[in-house]
Amino acid sequence: MTSLSLGIDVGGTFTDLVLHDPAGRRTGNLKLLTTHGDPVRGILEGTRRLLGEVGVEPSEISRTVHATTLFTNALIERKGALTALITTQGFRDILKIGRERRYELFDLSLRPTAPLMPDHLRLEVPERVKADGTVLIPLDLAAVDAAADAAVAAGAEAVAILFLHSDLHPRHEAEAAARISARHPGLSVTASHSIVREVREYERGSTASANAYVAPMAQRYLARLGAELAALGIVSPFLLMLSNGGLTHLAEASRAPVQLLESGPAAGALAAAHLAGPGEPRILAFDMGGTTAKLSVVEQGEPQIVFGFEAARQARFIEGSGLPIRISAVDLMEIGAGGGSIARKDAIGLLKVGPDSSGSEPGPASYGRGGRDPTVTDANLLLGYLDPSRFAGGRLPLNREAAREAMTRLASSLGISMDAAAWGIHDVVTEAMASAARMHLAERGRDASGFTLVCTGGGGPVHGFHLARKLGIKRLVVPPEAGVASALGLLTAPPRVDRVATLGRRLLQWSAGELEAAFAELEADAQAVLARGAIAHQPGADAAPQPERMVDARCVGQGAHMPVTLPPQPWPSEDAASHAMVTEAFNAAYLLRFRRPPPQVAIELVHARVVLRGVHEPLGLPQARSSWAGPAFAHQREVLSHGTSALADIYQRGHLLPGFSACGPALVEEGGSTLVIGAGGRFRVLETGNILVEIEA
């Protein structure tokens, strides 16, 4: 029987579903508005509709993969559970003090990032572990009972436990967590060491607090969704996308939902890497949906991974203005610019777009659902880029008059024409994305002109051409069904487990046997996670790959450390050879990052890291249409660009065969998105079905 996979991506505006058949006979996709009051309802309605349209029975689904932005939105909007913190006596304000850094030095109205729990629910208990991991003051379990009772009496649904140096000595946190869970079975309990065993209490505590804050909501949501899909007749494995681009099972996702914060954007980067194919070694993945746009660097088919990021930033592009989250994640630059981003006149009379969004409720004015503010989607409609009868596959017709009324009000307040306001919105939001891309690439020592821009999401192909021109990029690739590419990206991911533990000693103080034992313990934990979800191996796959080993290391005297990938196993058993191996890897990583060799000082090992990937069956690239299906050219429509109107040729993507080429201005329409090609651009359809746009200098 053919293996069928279902991908479900829930965003801030749209819920995308993709049904994939490796044989290519029964495939389909669907884009519908996210039902924020009850996201599960929208997922179930969409699943029923998609399966009905394709003619597939629920029991035929062999795998379901899900990603969502619900949890990161809960952090941003502060709509998680009432959470308490139980910490070492004398350290109740550790999350409030943070790093004592002003992320904007001269901003007198600066608002520091507030902890996720109120002051009265940050509680202390007597206990103390020293910096070497030895116990100075034993844990007072009676005080733990009293703190938990006080938290529950105050209405807390969740508790985060953060004890000093628990990365080296986790027993106190484990004892407190077990005690609280036994005493209050309905309370969600997160011990910091169980989420991330890294040095630095502020970052570890922030990550644990974020997990506790979203855990009750995540556990209810995931349990209900899994049960409802099973009731629908889909009894296949239910997997979740992680922020690092891997998959995990329901139990692990419910235990540590903080790992899912960037699951949706990660899927977009995977989709771009997969759909662009091996012929594009350097990709700038650009995914623009209804609420946000995301950019990520993909080289040699792999998105870059980082081991920490900030959530819910007060200032979008400024480090230090958000909540530090110490988990592995695809390296993303997120911009508050999507189809629903609202345009308005700012305090000094200039046009501003975003970061706030109309979402799906009520949505842009053109949705006809009560929205009155002009948005990016309204602007693109009035510029002629969108066909109001074909938006979202024709399932959401757009109201041009409602968009015109909203845009006219904005134009009047700015003292410009309606057309100028519409183009201004499109141009301002594209420039915001270009500025973010320049910053993202410059910080990583990259030049945009050497990359190919791969556009996905409903808005990516609409803005991609003008974004590429601003960045000096000459090549633009748009895969088929780009509007739902993130949902397809879910199906390309392998199972993955990341584990970390503190080392905290100089390299020469570690014997080869001690290092091997430290990594072996992490690998055993990771193997157990995969085994619990029965996702370590897939039918027909080869043997599982070896775990990837890394250390976070630095020169003695430095405050910052960097990840260093170690050679594959087997490792030398002699101490001198083991030290030489790690030193060589560190020197190479340092030279690659800083373009100079490290100083001749001792190396300190901060953390040990293990990445374990399960085996998955390759998804394969979609097949391009090979037979004539009707005329490619449909008609012409007037479009506006840079204040100038022109007639654009309109093409239906489903009718374009490999080898077809044409010049801009042109629009290529398909169910979930529209590709805009401006003057000076030429496009052709590749054998893979991708459209390659080449842009004149």
Q: What's residue 318's pLDDT?
A: 76
Q: What is the CA 542 to chain-centroid distance, rounded?
A: 29
The string of pLDDT tens digits covering residues 537-580 is 444 445 566 799 999 999 999 989 999 999 988 888 999 999 99
**Cα–Cα distance, 621 to 599 (Å, whole number):** 46
Q: What's residue 625's pLDDT?
A: 58
pLDDT of 138 strictly over 80: yes
pLDDT grade for 1, boundaries at 50, 70 and 90: very low
DSSP reduced 3-state for 554: strand
**Cα–Cα distance, 469 to 451 (Å, whole number):** 12
* Length reported for the chain: 697
Q: Side chain identity at 338, as an amino acid letter? A: G
Q: Side chain identity at 606, as an amino acid letter? A: V
Nearest 10 degrees: CA dihedral of 190, 196, 199, 200?
-50
The string of pLDDT tens digits covering residues 85-131 is 999 999 999 999 988 788 888 888 888 888 999 999 999 999 999 99
Q: Side chain identity at 152, as an amino acid letter? A: V
- What's the half-sphere exposure (Cβ side, CA atoms, 13 Å) at 322? 20
**Cα–Cα distance, 587 to 604 (Å, whole number):** 13
Q: Which fold has domain 4-74+220-260?
A: Nucleotidyltransferase; domain 5 (3.30.420)
Tokens 């979800």 correspond to 533
Nearest 5 degrees, angle CA 485-CA 488-CA 490?
A: 115
What's the average model confidence in pLDDT over 413-439?
A: 92
The string of pLDDT tens digits covering residues 139-187 is 999 999 999 999 999 999 999 999 999 999 999 999 999 999 999 999 9
The string of pLDDT tens digits covering residues 221-243 is 999 999 999 999 999 899 999 99
Nearest 5 degrees, angle CA 9-CA 14-CA 18?
A: 40
CA distances from 61 to 1, 3, 55, 118, 185 (A): 11, 7, 12, 45, 35
Q: Find all residues with CB under 8 Å of 267, minimum gap 6, and list them.
A: 9, 67, 241, 245, 486, 487, 489, 490, 493
The string of pLDDT tens digits covering residues 329-365 is 999 887 778 888 899 998 888 999 887 888 888 889 9
Nearest to 157 by CA among 54, 74, 228, 260: 74
pLDDT of 73 strictly over 90: no
Helices (H), 338-449: 376-382, 400-414, 418-442
The string of pLDDT tens digits covering residues 408-421 is 999 999 999 999 99
**Cα–Cα distance, 477 to 434 (Å, whole number):** 17
Q: What's residue 580's pLDDT?
A: 96
pLDDT of 641 strictly over 50: yes
Q: What's residue 112's pLDDT?
A: 82
pLDDT of 470 strictly over 90: yes
Q: What's residue 615's pLDDT?
A: 79
Nearest to 482 by CA among 243, 687, 242, 676: 676
**Cα–Cα distance, 392 to 238 (Å, whole number):** 27
Specify the DSSP element, H or E, that contains 486: helix 485-489
Q: What's residue 541's pLDDT?
A: 47
**Cα–Cα distance, 568 to 565 (Å, whole number):** 9
What ranges do the domains of the chain cover?
4-74+220-260, 341-427, 496-613
pLDDT of 486 strictly over 50: yes
Q: Given strand 158-162, what is the order of strands in its sheet?
A: 122-125, 83-88, 158-162, 188-191
DSSP reduced 3-state for 629: coil
The chain-wide mean pLDDT, for the chain, equals 90
User: For 25-34, 76-85, 167-176, 611-620, which range has the lowest pLDDT when averaged over its residues?
Assistant: 611-620
Q: Which fold has domain 496-613?
A: Dna Ligase; domain 1 (3.30.1490)
pLDDT of 288 strictly over 60: yes
237: its two tokens: 């494995």
> Phi and psi (nearest 5°) for 593?
-80, -40
More confident residue, 312 or 374: 374
pLDDT of 218 strictly over 90: yes
The string of pLDDT tens digits covering residues 520-536 is 999 999 999 988 877 75
Nearest 5 degrees, angle CA 353-CA 357-CA 362?
A: 130
What pTM does this model have?
0.90
**Cα–Cα distance, 576 to 695 (Å, whole number):** 55
